C-alpha cells in the first residue's frame, strides 16, 4: 500500500516537472513572438518616418534623438495622438453611408492588383480614407487641422 502511494507521488512529481517545462517553453515562445512583433513595428514606423522626412537619414543617432525629443515632447504631439485615437474610436462606431439608390443594381467595382510579395499581412487601424464612405471624413480632417 505504501509503495503504491510512493509510486503515485513519484508519478505526480514527474508530471509537475513536465508541466513546468511546458510552461517554460510556452513562455519562451511568447517572449520571442513579442520581440518579433516589436521589431516589425519599429521597422515599419521607422521606415515611414524616413519616407516622410528623408533628411533624417543625414542625422546621426545623437542628432536624431535630439530631433525627436524637441518635436515629440510637446503638448502639441500628445494632443494630436489623443485626437487621432479619439477619432478612431468614434469612426469605428459610424456606419458607412449607403451611396447606392435602392432601386438600382450595385455598381461594378474595379479591382486593383495587389503586390504578390507583400509581407504586410496585418493592417493597422488608421484614419479613414475618402473612399471608405464615412460621412465625417472631412470633419475628421478639419478637426485635426484646427488643433
With respect to residue 101, please indicate whether it lies within any of the assigned structural domains: no
111 phi-psi bin (left φ>0, alpha ψ -120 to 50, beta other)? beta
Q: Residue range 25-48: average pLDDT? A: 96
d(CA 37, CA 40): 5
**Residues 143 and 83: beta-carbon distance below 8 Å:** yes
With respect to residue 144, please indicate whether it lies within any of the assigned structural domains: no
Q: Residue range 66-82: average pLDDT? A: 87
Query: pLDDT over 90 for what percent of the chain?
Result: 44
Supply the range of the domain harboring residue 7: 1-56
With respect to residue 24, please indicate whether it lies within any of the assigned structural domains: yes
Q: Pick from 90, 78, 97: which is nearest to 127 by CA?
A: 90
pLDDT computed for residue 115 by the predictor: 46
With respect to residue 37, please indicate whether it lies within any of the assigned structural domains: yes
107 phi-psi bin (left φ>0, alpha ψ -120 to 50, beta other)? beta
d(CA 97, CA 133): 5
Number of domains within the chain: 1
pLDDT computed for residue 2 by the predictor: 85
With respect to residue 125, please indicate whether it lies within any of the assigned structural domains: no
Q: Is the pLDDT of residue 95 over 80?
A: no
d(CA 128, CA 116): 25
With respect to residue 39, please indicate whether it lies within any of the assigned structural domains: yes
With respect to residue 139, please indicate whether it lies within any of the assigned structural domains: no
The residue behind cell 479613414 is: 128
With respect to residue 20, please indicate whether it lies within any of the assigned structural domains: yes
Tally Cβ neighbours within 10 Å of residue 134.
19
Amino acid at each position: 500500500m505504501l509503495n503504491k502511494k510512493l509510486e503515485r507521488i513519484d508519478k505526480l512529481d514527474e508530471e509537475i516537472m513536465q508541466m513546468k517545462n511546458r510552461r517554460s517553453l510556452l513562455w519562451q515562445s511568447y517572449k520571442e513572438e513579442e520581440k518579433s512583433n516589436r521589431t516589425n513595428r519599429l521597422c515599419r514606423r521607422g521606415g515611414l518616418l524616413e519616407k516622410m522626412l528623408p533628411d533624417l537619414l543625414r542625422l546621426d543617432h545623437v542628432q536624431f534623438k535630439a530631433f525627436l525629443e524637441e518635436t515629440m515632447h510637446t503638448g502639441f504631439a500628445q494632443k494630436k495622438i489623443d485626437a487621432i485615437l479619439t477619432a478612431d474610436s468614434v469612426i469605428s462606431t459610424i456606419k458607412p453611408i449607403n451611396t447606392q439608390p435602392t432601386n438600382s443594381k450595385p455598381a461594378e467595382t474595379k479591382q486593383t492588383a495587389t503586390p504578390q510579395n507583400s509581407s504586410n499581412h496585418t493592417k493597422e487601424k488608421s484614419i479613414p480614407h475618402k473612399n471608405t464612405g464615412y460621412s465625417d471624413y472631412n470633419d475628421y480632417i478639419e478637426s485635426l487641422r484646427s488643433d
